[in-house]
Structure 1
């Protein structure tokens, strides 16, 4: 689901210290000194330096709805390419293979009426795609009927600061379930990429209540006290 590309900065803390050292006329030839300087920048929250480590990744199998929300985090000059609805052919005949099914919908299938309605929708949708293809309608026009739940794939590039600040909002229990899962999957993939990324994920990429010590949400999950209570 998440693939960290080799172009991603392997040692982000050291990279931060290297960039800061250039501006401070420090010794940038020693990786240990760069690492220490990078940690100083992080602990002092010199956020501009966080923009130097790059993250390039493939995000695959999430809904178009979720990816549309991903696009709203535009700070730090990210860029991305998305799976084309003009040239990419619809794959398979199984509805579930091509759509993200929310847990609440899966649970609703226990109700016979809801299960029947969903099955009717799946059948009618697949029949629509099939009949349009047979009628010679171009894929780019058939794509107008695709719902937001359709799975998609993007190649994404952004910096560490953008991801860290995004995690504060999107790891919150108030965030939409699929986006929260996407954020957790990215954290897991980065943790496996290198030890320095694991430190960043463990210490910096967390819900905003963990960052400030209280809940800012109007409807709190109760994980942390509200500011007025604190």
Structure 2
């Protein structure tokens, strides 16, 4: 299943909100007066200055919500490590997966024998899930449970046979500062390929609605030196071109 990312909601006029909040820190005026004086031109100028100074706390005032599909449980295990965020993920306890979708790595797709082994394994996982959920449901019904209660209890244990490749859906909300941190870590060439693809697509979409704010968002090497030390990919120029052109 292909990766699908959609920016479904965000703070209206995010760059204007940030500029107003940041200007308040340095002004004797009230927020109404500050907002009235904000034009598109001076908002952009102020945001560029703010970003160059590394003054990040004002950018926490705006948030972005993404609907994400076609990703693996392996990816979401990494994604939820970004703790200043909100996550709502499709539940395997409440949703019976009669035929689960799965993500196949490109390295496996490129090798016919490896792909065959992979798909056969996925099919065996589905068969095991079906047999376990049916067996456990029958057991619970015989013990006096209703059909719906028995099925829920059965699938919450049967799901243990599903692999990391199992496709999932998730809604994610992050404030802009958390997003910046997410991009620094997950757009890096050393990030795992699937979450790097997700981060790159998310970056493309937020740049459309807040181009000044996210102008230099991406891996840490975009604005400075690589932070990976000996583990560096050694491709700073290529990475800078890639992400500045998004």
TM over 0.5: yes
Cα-to-partner distance string for 1:37-96 (whole Å, 9 max, x where unaligned) = 33332232211112111112222221111111111122xx3221211111112153xx6x
Q: Residues of 1 paired with 2:43 and 2:212: CA distance? A: 16
Give how far 1:116 is off.
4.4
Query: 1:205 aligns to what?
Result: 217
Contact 1:17 1:36 in 2 (8 A): no
Instruction: Tell me, yes or no, if the aligned pair for 2:187 and 2:219 is still in contact at 8 Å.
Output: yes
Question: What secondary structure does 2:170 align onto?
Answer: strand
Structure 1: how far apart are the matches of 2:98 and 2:38?
Answer: 47
Query: What does residue 47 of structure 2 align with?
Result: 38
Q: Which of the two has higher C-alpha Rg?
A: 2
- Mapped to 2, the partners of 1:115 and 1:148 lie a distance apart of 16
Name the count of aligned residue pairs: 211
Q: TM-score, normalised by structure 1?
A: 0.81
Which stretches in structure 2 are left out of the alignment for 5+ residues? 138-153, 238-246
Return the alpha-carbon distance in structure 1 between the equivalents of residues 20 and 102 of structure 2: 44
Residue 169 (structure 2) aligns with: 153
Residue 228 of structure 1 is matched in structure 2 by none
Give the Cα–Cα distance (whole angstroms) in 1 for the partners of residues 229 and 165 of structure 2: 27
- Once the 2 structures are TM-superposed, how far is the Cα of residue 210 of structure 1 from its aligned partner? 1.8
Q: 1:91 to 1:164 in 2, by over 3 A?
A: farther
| Residue 220 (structure 1) aligned with residue 232 (structure 2) | yes
Q: Is the 8 A contact 2:88 2:172 kept in 1?
A: yes
Q: Does 1:89 align with 2:91?
A: no
| CA deviation after TM superposition for structure 1 residue 208, in Å | 1.1
Tell me how far 1:145 sits from its aligned partner: 1.3
RMSD: 2.2
Superposed CA deviations along residues 165-187 of structure 1, whole A, max 9, x for unmatched, are 22112111111000100101101
